[in-house]
Amino acid sequence: MSRDPDPSRRSLVKSGAALAAFAAAGALPGVGSFAAPATRRRRAGPRVAVVGAGAFGGWSALHLLRQGARVTLLDAWGPGNSRASSGGETRVIRATYGPDRIYVEMAVRSMQLWRDSEKRWGRRLFHETGVLWLAGADDAFEKAALPLLREARVECETYTTAEAAKRYPQMRFDEVAWVLHEKKAGYLMARQACRAVLDAFLEEGGEYRQVTAEPGAIEGDALADLGLSDGTRLAADSYLFACGPWLGRLFPDLLGERIRPTRQEVFFFGTPAGDPAFSEERLPIWIDTGPPVLYGIPGNESRGFKVADDTHGPPVDPTSLERAASPHGLKAVRRYMARRFPAMKDAPLVESRVCQYEVSPDGRFILDRHPCAGNLWIAGGGSGHGFKHGPAIGERVAAMVLGSARPDPYFALSRFAT
């Protein structure tokens, strides 16, 4: 849920030493492969292997397929699994990004693609609840966002705290300067969306295999193949690694210091029985810019009132992480709830979840070619705000892999160079 903090520059590993060796990923047994009927498979086009079936990898695989490639999609535990950064039930989709025009444009494009896909697939993946931004004393982020939102024709309006309190009496607006309301924003059904993308990918002719993948040797300036946990090897013309928090393990010299998985806690509280005041029909998603930044999603298809702290947690191993929420985290969220939502002060905890972000040094995505292999691509660094952008990222990455577009410097690895 990151606000995409101001960019910072960090040094890139010297190109001559970049990726001297690959770290092996922990292998898990494969559980089969799936593909559309042979009559639907694409017979021409370059062969592309995509590692990771989350928001970045799944959408990239689908766009590659639609642009004529023959695509094999690989994932260790399946799309939207409990270890993935794209797992869990819900993700916010909004276009407010302070002064960063590129994210506004990507969010608008992604929203169009999400809506188009819902119609195409006949599946509801987006809930239009609106999003309230609670601007604090430092409101530069929200002020910078307004002209870009209006230029992009994003429906929004502003409220004084008195106006907001009248509209939303469930909330207190202490320490809030004013409120920005994105009227057409909302939330996405994350795990379900990952599955829907895979289903479309298979229906349109893609192949999916549930295995782990390790990069093979770089021969000359190209990656030769992948080693899979079922004992086979997979060769392709191009390779895309979009495996989120595992990127640092697979490419330690290149990404070990640039993809940092962090532990994040999410809590779901039970609302008062029979009281619709805290449903998504009565209360939009809210983002309190603090500090610290907290956000919440009412409703969640009756799952509960979701609350989470956007502060980056300690570094973790996403494979072995024990995913039990801490008493300290729960206590901090309860204090906040008592202040901002008085009627929820003693609300029962009905569920909790521990997930992870995969944070880049500047909070920006990494969408680029590997410096030592011309046929090897990286898509990662979601940094807690990447899920919503999956469709637009998939378009960008597919175009780069197939040679019709170049990497954008804003997301390139070269930004970390000294």
Mean pLDDT of the chain: 91
Through-space distance between the first and last CA atoms of the chain, rounded to whole angstroms: 29
SS3 assignment for 393-415: HHHHHHHHHCCCCCCCHHHCHHH
The answer, yes or no, to whether residue 41 has pLDDT greater than 60, is: no
**The whole model's pTM is what?**
0.90
pLDDT at 11 exceeding the cut of 90: no
Question: Residue 13 has what pLDDT?
Answer: 32
pLDDT score at 44: 82
Largest CA distance in the chain: 66
For residue 398, pLDDT over 80 is answered with yes
Q: Residue 10: its pLDDT value, please?
A: 32
Q: Please give the pLDDT value at position 8.
A: 34
Looking at residue 5, its pLDDT comes to 39
Q: Which range, of 16-20, 193-197, 202-206, 243-247, averages the lowest pLDDT?
A: 16-20
Residue of 20, 133, 85 whose CA lies nearest to 353: 85
In the numeric block, the tokens 């804003």 are attached to 410
Residues paired with 278 in a beta bridge: none
Q: Which of 32-46, 88-102, 226-240 has the lowest mean pLDDT?
A: 32-46
User: Considering the chain, what percentage of its residues have pLDDT values greater than 70?
Assistant: 89
CA dihedral 169, 170, 175, 181 (to 10 degrees): -80
More confident residue, 417 or 237: 237
Q: What is the pLDDT of residue 287?
A: 98
Q: What is the mean pLDDT of residues 135-162?
A: 98
What is each CA distance from 405 to 118, 239, 395, 397, in whole angstroms?
27, 16, 10, 9
Q: Does 39 have pLDDT greater than 60?
A: no
Q: What is the pLDDT of residues 381-397, one digit of tens each?
A: 999 999 999 999 999 99
Question: What phi and psi, each to the nearest 5 degrees, are found at residue 229?
Answer: -70, -10
Q: What is the pLDDT of residue 35?
A: 54
| Structure token pair of residue 157 | 């309006």
> Is the N-terminal amide bond of 147 cis, ω within 30° of 0?
no
204 dihedral zone (left: phi>0; alpha: psi -120 to 50; beta) = alpha
